[in-house]
Amino acid sequence: MQKFGIVILVLSFMGWIATVAQPMKRVVQYDEEDGLPHGHVTQLLQDRQGFIWIATWNGLCRFDGYDFRTFKPQAGDGCHATTDRFRDIALRPDNQIVCRVDEDYFLFDTRTCRFRDMTPEEARQAPEEIKRYRQSRRENGVFVCTDHQGNQWMLADNGIRKICTDEQRTERLDINPQAQVKCLFTDREQRYWVCTKDDGAVRVYSPDGNLSGYLGRDGLLHQAYTCFGSPVYSMYQSADGTIWLGSKPDGLFRIRETSANTFKIDHFTELPDPNVYSIIEDHDSRLWIATLGGGLCYTDQPQSDHPRFTAPAGYPQDAAQKVRYLHITRHNILIAATTEGLVVARIEKNAQIMRFHLHQRETDRSESLSSSATMDITEDVHGRLYVSTESGGFNRIEDNDLLTDHLTFRHFTANGHQLPNDVVMSLTPLDDNGMMVVGPHLVTLLDSTGKQRVLDARYFLADYRFSEAHPQRLSGGRWLNL
């Protein structure tokens, strides 16, 4: 069952290891229906990369936590093994696996995934290398192997069995009544705001995680459950401390704190479209508004009682009406993620002379966008820009000149093996040059070398559905997600 709510990820980014919370034991059985090549299993081990290797009577099998892959000597590969009955395995210090296939010994290189014959001297030493390097121990007549996470693997009838000591790696911030979260926001006071779609509620939490109250249209934080009355899809805090709420379909709200937990609220609906998806302030204190139907607009009077919202004359209104997200780079370049492509322009003092470039997926250019339906934009600590898409993974802009007519994009996709899925809801840079990639049901952590860790229902111990709300960093290396 899919769950709505808030997940607090507790992550240490040195090695993507989760902080331990409550341990829970469970037993998992794997057999041929799960991908094992044979039900008769003879030995187990774990290599330094964390892969589990399984010796079976139908080849050597590798398990990465999700899928089984089987390796067998092949005709013409130079290995003289005549059967696939693997009877014993052990891991040498050089990360090669000593394999006993029937009564003969062979070596398997875990880097190249190829088998080779042993030299006569290696073959003489092989039996001794297998007491010495065997990882499993015999308990009650059964071979048992303990992996790096403390889980126990053992041979079972018709397969293998894993006894897991699962760690509750996340905390769930319950939302009652249950509703889909559309916006997460952290203000300068380190309060975090949680906005839900179904009930139009805005919850405010103190930095320590306690619920401060529910924002009402009267500007007060109520202790009892109170609906704000409009589904909030975006939030932004401008340089003067004003907080802006973008709603769908009720336009824009301006809230200014007059005293502790008391706000003055102004409501603006005279926009090109009432569905506000993103808000951002430029260096001249103008406020830019992304709408899902009316394109882009701005106001140079954000603090006026009656601010006027204007569409820039050069914006490609007909081609890019549905704007999902706005980003302004450190070099004062405005980028808009739209359902029809990426729109880029230098911000000018006179917004009416701004020149906009629309970038889309091109049939004959592989370096163009992987998908025109863009979702999100983020900039890492090195100033590199990334764009997430609805169905083409995410892209990194490779050009230094963002105002060129044909930007070059590097694609990170499932087809390129960087992602498990090409639907990317949001992107968040991490401290060590990594990236948090949020999909509809998965969170993928990518480090600077491109290695990935996928956090799925087995990690969360629940099937969550994530939204395009940006994860928010909390204290202690924690992240607020969903």
Answer whether residue 262 shows pLDDT above 60.
yes
For residue 405, how many other CB atoms are within 10 A of its CB?
Answer: 7
- Counting DSSP H helices and E strands in the chain, the numbers are 2, 44
Which of 218, 190, 217 shows the shortest CA–CA distance to 204? 190
DSSP assignment of 393-433, as one string? -EEEE--S-TTSSS--EEEE-TTTTS-S-S---EEEE-TTS
Tokens of 254: 């301006």
Please check whether residue 278 is in contact with residue 377, taking contact to mean a CB–CB distance below 8 angstroms.
no
Q: What pLDDT does residue 22 have?
A: 45
Answer whether residue 23 shows pLDDT above 60.
no
- Beta-bridge partner residues of 134: none
pLDDT in tens, 200-223: 999 999 988 889 999 999 999 999
Q: What pLDDT does residue 21 have?
A: 41
pLDDT in tens, 308-332: 999 999 999 999 999 999 999 999 9
For residue 67, how many other CB atoms are within 10 A of its CB?
Answer: 9
Q: What pLDDT does residue 431 have?
A: 76
Domain extent listing, the chain: 26-167, 171-481
Which of 246, 267, 255 shows the shortest CA–CA distance to 323? 246
Q: What is the CATH number of domain 26-167?
A: 2.130.10.10
How would residue 168 be classed by pLDDT, with cut points 50, 70 and 90?
A: low
Answer whether residue 17 shows pLDDT above 60.
no
Q: What pLDDT does residue 16 have?
A: 34
How would residue 19 be classed by pLDDT, with cut points 50, 70 and 90?
A: very low
In the chain the first and final C-alpha atoms are separated, in Å, by 16
User: What is the mean predicted confidence (pLDDT) over 85-105?
Assistant: 95
Which of 232, 226, 198 shows the shortest CA–CA distance to 212? 226
Same fold, 26-167 and 171-481: yes
Considering the entire predicted model, what is its pTM? 0.71
Answer whether residue 15 shows pLDDT above 50.
no
| Percent of the chain predicted with pLDDT > 70 | 93
* Domain 171-481 belongs in CATH node 2.130.10.10: yes
As a whole number, the mean pLDDT across the chain is 89
- Cα–Cα distance, 181 to 202 (Å, whole number): 10
Query: Regarding predicted confidence, which is higher, 474 or 119?
Result: 119
Answer whether residue 291 shows pLDDT above 80.
yes
